[in-house]
């Protein structure tokens, strides 16, 4: 008969050699002879965890602990299995018990900090990692995990330092270089990030995370051809990689290749059906597709909500707020775009002009790299909470603790959204405004703020939420102080007309190219200036030239430019006589900027909210005559402007003062209107609760 100790030793040797099948068989032989052998139960559980059977591991190691509660490894490994099952709170208890039994153990302490990170407690995790490093300064994994915690909390400069320590200690670890690259990218050190990714790929040419991150870096730099090639390289080896499929969809969308992009978004969803963010990307992309209709968009948003955001019952979800209809309201604004972004610009006048007797405003910000707009918003807010590294559950609890009465989503289905927080209804009244341009599909969102032109009467049938219409426009524009003076009309009296569009290239679809080409053919000496970050890529620019050439427009009549600093972009309107709005995705902030720089904008009013941004802004600025209802009328308006230089010069000279005096730029007026809607919604909520 085999000696149990010998069998166990042989099993451990096989286990350490990576021969899990043989090890498991030997552990079972031990248990056949001694069913209560705690070591065999524990190690068989460890093997199960390594094979991906963490539920079985929890059962086996839990049974081992029931036999012997005083072995640190048992508790540490049970905790690891529970972490793998997404149960970090339970794991914490066992890590702490392991540390009671083996105080100061660096690996267990690091694992405990990892569980805190899983729970969204990035600051607490960083404290634990630093405690480990105080005793073990050469523990590379602790430096690496400290970097992860700091990055999760948005402290990217400190994360870079931590990752560099890890790399110095263990330069052969691919993940260390990859995460260093990610942090360097976050602080704007693109060249250093590129070098870190290349070092990671030297170590492992097929490292999935590094290839994916490298592609994202190329995309952020406007190197879309390189980004596409990198993602196709990754997908050639891993065709079901959800993030790579999603990111390739975005890269193709950036190049205005919407038809090619859509299959990749759908493949990403198939690969990761439970990922709400991946599914949101598909919804966002649908708005660039001229083939879509309102019914299809509504159905797509409802499908997202059914899968990812089943809302709890209203009564069960609400916590107790004092139901006083006329008291000061605490309003929370949630967004990852409180920065140099349309959302940041549109929120500026509202935060600055809120009547503090009516509204106390708290911002929940997911901004990773703050800028001057972030600073301005922060100065105007009554409270500011970073949501970086904060789990949905923790954020919802913070919103409840802050006593938020009206919670405003400024993201919708755009990147960094926290719609899953809204699904749990942490506030009595929940609103969607400014960051999205459609229904969210969610019953937990009570209302979408719009206006009579963005959402005409009858269009509310395409929304799950109630539509509340502001009387003027759905946003207010606060022009930047650094905007240059309006330049004289570039065409003067005898030079060719220059049309222009500074919208994202994603909006320039084949139907847009066809209509604009017709306009250019009608004015043979005219030119078209397109300015977009994507056009800094030579391959992308060549493709756009080809699309126009196929419609009879010579490449020399196009001026294609990449992205520039915002002040330089505004100055570039000094070279544009007439701005052309794309469709079906109309320009929002871009329209406001063109008008502020004295450039009239010709738009085609579509059926969707997103198709009517310029319609709303032009009407509020006093120029509804630039709004067309048909392609033919669009051409007629543009040609009429182009053929009347005197009128163009007059419009150019008067647009800025006219716009400044209009509702479009009247911050106090807009804010009083939005506060009235907040108050009405709050009173109705109080009435419902008293019934």
CA dihedral 153, 276, 461, 256 (to 10 degrees): 90
| Residue 266 domain-assigned (yes or no) | yes
d(CA 410, CA 421): 13
Work out the percent of the chain whose per-residue pLDDT is above 70.
98
Q: What is the CATH number of the domain that holds 509?
A: 3.40.50.2000
Angle at 58 between CA 55 and CA 60, to 5 degrees: 110
| Residue 110 domain-assigned (yes or no) | no
Mean pLDDT of 455-473: 96
* CB-CB contact of 469 with 495 (8 Å): no
Q: pTM for this one?
A: 0.90
Measured N-to-C along each axis, helices 631-642 and 510-522 cross at an angle, to the nearest 10 degrees, of 40
pLDDT score recorded for residue 322: 81
pLDDT in tens, 268-321: 999 999 999 999 999 999 999 999 999 999 999 999 999 998 754 443 334 557
Q: Are residues 303 and 369 in the same domain?
A: no
Q: Are residues 681 and 611 in the same domain?
A: no
pLDDT score recorded for residue 368: 87
Confidence of residue 323 (pLDDT cuts 50, 70, 90): confident
Q: What is the CATH number of the domain that holds 218?
A: 1.25.40.10
Q: Are residues 675 and 577 in the same domain?
A: no
Helical spans, DSSP H, in 338-495? 342-353, 372-380, 392-401, 419-423
- Cα separation values, 627 from 239, 344, 596, 611, Å: 45, 26, 17, 12
User: Would you say residue 657 has pLDDT above 70?
Assistant: yes
User: Would you say residue 505 has pLDDT above 80?
Assistant: yes
- 3-state helix, strand and coil shares in percent for the chain, rounded to the nearest 5: 60, 10, 35
d(CA 82, CA 54): 7
How does DSSP assign 564-594, residue by residue?
Answer: --HHHHHHHGGG-SEEE--SSS--SHHHHHH
d(CA 192, CA 170): 19
Q: Are residues 363 and 275 in the same domain?
A: no
Q: Are residues 295 and 375 in the same domain?
A: no
| Residue 135 domain-assigned (yes or no) | no
Q: How many domains does the chain have?
A: 3
Q: Are residues 471 and 531 in the same domain?
A: no
Q: Are residues 654 and 515 in the same domain?
A: yes
pLDDT score recorded for residue 314: 43
pLDDT score recorded for residue 2: 59
Measured N-to-C along each axis, helices 613-620 and 589-596 cross at an angle, to the nearest 10 degrees, of 30
Angle at 183 between CA 180 and CA 187, to 5 degrees: 135
Q: Which domain does 213 fall in, by range?
A: 206-308
* CB-CB contact of 338 with 374 (8 Å): yes
| Residue 152 domain-assigned (yes or no) | no
Q: Are residues 512 and 468 in the same domain?
A: no
d(CA 608, CA 591): 17
| Residue 577 domain-assigned (yes or no) | yes
pLDDT score recorded for residue 691: 56
441: its two tokens: 């599909």
Q: Are residues 423 and 451 in the same domain?
A: yes
- Max CA pair span of the chain: 107
Q: What is the CATH number of the domain that holds 336?
A: 3.40.50.11380
Q: Are residues 428 and 542 in the same domain?
A: no
Q: Are residues 287 and 338 in the same domain?
A: no
Confidence of residue 602 (pLDDT cuts 50, 70, 90): very high
Residues 6+ apart with CB under 8 A from 287: 297, 437, 438, 584, 585, 608, 610
Q: What is the overall mean pLDDT for the chain?
A: 94
Q: Are residues 559 and 596 in the same domain?
A: yes
pLDDT in tens, 196-237: 999 999 999 999 999 999 999 999 999 999 999 999 999 999
Mean pLDDT of 538-561: 97
| Residue 489 domain-assigned (yes or no) | no
Please state the separation of Cα 395 from the chain's center in Å. Answer: 17
pLDDT score recorded for residue 316: 36
| Residue 242 domain-assigned (yes or no) | yes
d(CA 184, CA 178): 10
pLDDT in tens, 8-62: 889 889 989 888 899 899 889 888 999 999 999 999 989 999 988 989 999 999 9
Confidence of residue 525 (pLDDT cuts 50, 70, 90): very high
d(CA 109, CA 127): 11
| Residue 399 domain-assigned (yes or no) | yes
């Amino acid at each position: 008969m085999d000696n149990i100790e010998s069998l166990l030793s042989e099993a451990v040797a096989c286990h350490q050699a990576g021969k899990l099948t043989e090890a498991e068989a030997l552990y079972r032989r031990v248990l056949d002879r001694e069913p209560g052998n705690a070591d065999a139960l524990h190690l068989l559980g460890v093997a199960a965890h390594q094979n991906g059977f963490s539920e079985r591991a929890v059962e086996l190691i839990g049974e081992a602990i029931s036999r012997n509660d005083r072995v640190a490894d048992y508790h540490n490994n049970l905790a690891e299995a529970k972490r793998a099952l997404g149960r970090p709170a339970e794991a914490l208890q066992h890590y702490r018990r392991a540390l009671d039994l083996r105080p100061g153990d660096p690996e267990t302490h690091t694992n405990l900090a990892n569980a805190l990170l899983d729970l969204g407690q990035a600051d607490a995790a960083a404290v634990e990692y630093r405690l480990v490093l105080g005793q073990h300064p050469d523990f590379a994994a602790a430096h690496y995990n400290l970097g992860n915690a700091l990055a999760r909390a948005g402290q990217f400069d400190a994360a870079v330092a931590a990752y560099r320590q890890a790399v110095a200690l263990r330069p052969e670890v691919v993940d260390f270089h990859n995460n260093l690259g990610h942090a360097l990218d976050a602080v704007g050190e693109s060249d250093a990030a590129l070098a870190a990714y290349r070092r990671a790929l030297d170590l492992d040419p097929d490292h999935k995370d590094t290839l994916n991150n490298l592609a994202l870096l190329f995309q952020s730099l406007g190197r879309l051809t390189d980004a596409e090639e990198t993602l196709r390289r990754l997908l050639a080896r891993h065709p079901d990689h959800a993030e790579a499929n999603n990111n390739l969809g975005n890269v193709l969308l950036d190049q205005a290749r919407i038809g090619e992009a859509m299959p990749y978004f759908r493949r990403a969803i198939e690969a990761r059906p439970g990922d709400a963010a991946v599914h949101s990307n598909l919804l966002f992309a649908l708005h660039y597709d001229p083939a879509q209709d309102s019914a299809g968009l509504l159905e797509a948003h409802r499908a997202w909500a059914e899968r990812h955001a089943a809302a709890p019952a209203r009564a069960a979800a609400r916590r107790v707020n004092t139901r006083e209809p006329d008291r000061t309201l605490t309003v929370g604004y949630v967004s990852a775009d409180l920065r140099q972004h349309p959302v940041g610009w549109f929120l500026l006048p509202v935060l600055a002009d809120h009547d503090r007797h009516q509204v106390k405003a708290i911002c929940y910000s997911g901004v990773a790299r703050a800028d001057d707009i972030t600073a301005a918003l922060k100065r105007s807010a009554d409270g500011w909470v970073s949501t970086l590294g904060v789990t949905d559950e923790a954020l919802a609890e913070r919103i409840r603790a802050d006593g938020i009465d009206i919670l405003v989503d400024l993201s919708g289905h755009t990147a960094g959204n926290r719609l899953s927080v809204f699904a749990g209804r942490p506030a009595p009244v929940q609103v969607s405004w400014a960051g999205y341009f459609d229904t969210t599909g969610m019953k937990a969102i009570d209302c979408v703020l719009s206006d009579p032109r963005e959402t005409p009467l009858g269009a509310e049938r395409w929304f799950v939420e109630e539509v509340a219409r502001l009387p003027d426009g759905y946003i207010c524009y606060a022009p930047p102080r650094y905007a240059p003076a309006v330049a004289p009309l570039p065409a003067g009296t005898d030079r060719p007309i220059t049309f222009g569009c500074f919208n994202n290239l994603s909006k320039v679809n084949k139907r847009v190219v066809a209509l604009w080409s017709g306009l250019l053919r009608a004015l043979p000496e005219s030119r078209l200036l397109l300015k977009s970050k994507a056009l800094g890529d030579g391959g992308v620019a060549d493709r756009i030239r080809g699309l126009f050439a196929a419609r009879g427009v010579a490449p020399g009549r196009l001026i294609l430019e990449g992205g520039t600093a915002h002040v330089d972009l505004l100055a570039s309107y000094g070279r544009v006589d007439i701005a052309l709005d794309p469709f079906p995705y109309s320009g929002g902030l871009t329209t406001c900027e063109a008008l502020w720089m004295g450039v009239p904008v010709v738009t085609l009013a579509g059926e969707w909210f997103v198709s009517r941004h310029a319609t709303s802004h032009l009407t509020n600025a006093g120029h509804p005559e630039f709004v067309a209802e048909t392609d033919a009328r669009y051409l007629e308006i543009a040609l009429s402007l182009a053929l009347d230089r005197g009128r163009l010069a007059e419009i150019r000279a008067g647009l800025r003062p006219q716009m400044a005096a209009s509702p479009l730029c009247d911050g106090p007026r807009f804010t009083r209107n939005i506060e009235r809607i907040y108050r009405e919604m709050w009173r109705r909520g109080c009435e419902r609760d008293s019934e």
